[in-house]
A and B are shown apart, each in its own frame.
Chain A
Amino acid sequence: MKRVVILGGGTGGTLCANRLRRLHPADQVQITVVDQDDVHVYQPGLLFVPFGLASVDEITRPRHRQLHGGIAFLRVAVDRVDVERRRVHLADATTLDYDVLVVATGAVLAPEETEGLTGPGWRERVHTFYTPEGAAALSTALRWFDHGRIVVNVVDLPIKCPVAPLEFCFLADWYFTEQGVRDQIELVYVTPLDGAFTKPVAARALAGLLDEKHIELVTEFNTGSVDGAGGRLVSYDDRVELFDLAVVVPLHSGASYVGRSPGLGDDLGFVAVDEHTLQSTVDEHVFAIGDAAGVPTSKAGSVTHFEGEVLVENVRRFLAGGPLDASYDGHANCFIETGFHKALLIDFNYDTEPLPGHFPAPAGLPLLRESRLNHLGKLMFQWVYWHSLLPGRDIPGVTSAMPERGKHKVTVP
């Protein structure tokens, strides 16, 4: 009997467990999923909560209910992993030995790492929508907000879903227009990057949209401290952005037990893996998926989904003693809500930046261009997530490898 231990019952852990269970008979491979709680949040839904478009209840389900029969679920925190002995130490002082360990515990927020962020004004005029509680508190704050300056700030990368703060800006523009107070409100997007996005073609398109919607773009701003009482964001080089309401995406780290597990993670607690096989660069028995993995692509659900196919195949090959399949290409595919019932779609990988064109699926969704169809795609995706992605079914027309077809090769001059 081989033992596969999966740490984390979120997107990556759940879809891997379900795919592995289907692939391996229960009398040959034992699968155990460990998570500290039983609350599975559909994280893309958090964006909609501040605007009253979704409630936290609607985007939350029990973790154990998403796991197929024959998968053990342990509700307990992880204390540390002993990589050398291939043993997981749990917070209740019990241990789990493994032949394969899959680290799928995602990223955690570290607001306390930014001076003043959780100080006076936190959850009053300084908010985040990256947690269910934060998104709900922000929803209340926005309902009463009818004039002033809103600053949306990313402290530093990596963050989950790097387009989400931009989507927040676009939806805020729509929301306040609907409320009839848009002309009383200044919207400002403050980023540490030198543009609206990391990649040039998409950065140009997104900066154009910000401009069209009269959202100010402030670049290369490295937030050093947040003064909630004074309504000031101060950068390390002493620039100041004033706000009446701040929406901040805090720093992200890997799960805290990674730092307590010698050899498992990097300086930020993410697990260093080969970017094509997803196997740890330190120990061959360890794999990582999703936000927990230190690979140079976005931390996003689509990435986790595409990684899952490769990872499950590689766990099978590893258990069989064969060579791994180095086929994960960094594929990411993200809808970007732009307000007024429209959205963009971007599709990219390690080598190809997001480009305009069409996604070559039956519906032929336009890339890097606003459309109602993309908005419907985004809304429909929650159903696909619970009923197709988590159970580990393939989504028709959407493959792990990025499609080259349909993309227009353009560059920024």
Chain B
Amino acid sequence: MPSATYAGTTVAVDDEGFFEDPNAWTEAMAPEIARQAGIEELTEQHWRVIKFMRTEYAEKGTGPTVRVLGKTSGVSVKELYQLFPKGPAKTAALIAGIPKPRGCI
């Protein structure tokens, strides 16, 4: 199983870098994961989304899709794409240390 080291701690991740165990994540790891994902600095708005992702995951067992994020996080879909240009749901889940959102079939 692949692993990655953030903030001095080694954690298990899947092939795409998503955390296997969300409990292994700490806030100190987020800036490093973000830089790897091409986001140089995490602003307050980034953090708002990251924290929202973790709360949703804790409640529902999966991260929300972009559309649900736009409806419920208080950040519009347009702004979500400005914050996470490579895809808000996936990138925010990656930085928030939760598994890849299941999405739909």
Point out residues on A near B: beta carbons under 8 Å.
156-158, 162, 198-199, 220, 222, 224, 236-237, 251, 267-268, 296-298
Contact = CB atoms under 8 A, between A and B. Distances in A.
B102 A296 contact: yes
B38 to A, nearest CB: 13
Interface in B65-98: 65-68, 71-72, 77-78, 80-81, 85, 87
Contacts of B1: none
Interface string B42-75: 0000000000000000000000111110011000
A256 to B, nearest CB: 14
Given A156-B65, A251-B67, A267-B71, A224 B105 contact: no
Given A157-B103, A296-B104, A297-B105, A268 B78 contact: no
A158 B67 CA distance: 11
Which of B64, B67, B81 has its CB near the most chain A CB atoms (within 10 A)?
A: B67
A267 B105 contact: no
Contacts of A296: 102, 104-105
A158 to B, nearest CB: 4
B80 to A, nearest CB: 8
B71 A157 contact: no
Nearest to B89: A222
A236 B105 contact: no
A198 B65 CA distance: 15
Contacts, number: 40
A236 B104 contact: no
A158 B104 CA distance: 6
Contacts of A298: 105
Nearest to B56: A267
A158 B68 CA distance: 12
Interface of B: 64-68, 71-72, 77-78, 80-81, 85, 87, 102-105
A-B complex: 6 closest residue pairs judged by Cβ atoms: A157-B104, A236-B81, A158-B104, A267-B68, A198-B105, A267-B72
Nearest to A236: B81
Contacts of B104: 157-158, 198, 296
A156 B103 CA distance: 10
Contacts of B77: 224, 236
B85 A237 contact: yes
B71 A237 contact: no
25 contacts: A156-B65, A157-B65, A157-B103, A157-B104, A158-B104, A162-B105, A198-B103, A198-B104, A198-B105, A199-B105, A222-B66, A222-B81, A222-B87, A224-B77, A224-B78, A236-B77, A236-B80, A251-B67, A267-B64, A267-B68, A267-B71, A267-B72, A268-B67, A268-B71, A296-B102
B50 to A, nearest CB: 19
